[in-house]
Amino acid sequence: MNLEKVSCFWLHARPFKETSLIADFLTQDHGVVSVLLKGAKKPKSAFKASSFPFTRLKLSAVGKTELLT
């Protein structure tokens, strides 16, 4: 499944390994989508500013399994 600039809401995030997060997003067309955010816990990560629940975002992700990156 490929998602390209889909409007979504950030629902929840949980830690995964040292620097990554698994985040859940609510999209209009695809429902709840889980995405692996690699490097999201690094100090200079772009995800730090937008990692609050119910933040509206544009999401682009790719993957062949249930967990997209």
Query: Nearest to residue 5, comparing CAs of 52, 53, 57, 44?
Result: 57
Average pLDDT, the chain: 84
Full-model pTM: 0.82
Residue where the block lists tokens 């067309």: 29
Query: Nearest to residue 61, comparing CAs of 6, 7, 2?
Result: 2
Is residue 47 pLDDT above 70, yes or no? no
Distances in Å between the Cα of 4 and the Cα atoms of 17, 25, 35, 67 are 26, 14, 13, 15
9-22: per-residue pLDDT in tens? 989 888 999 988 89
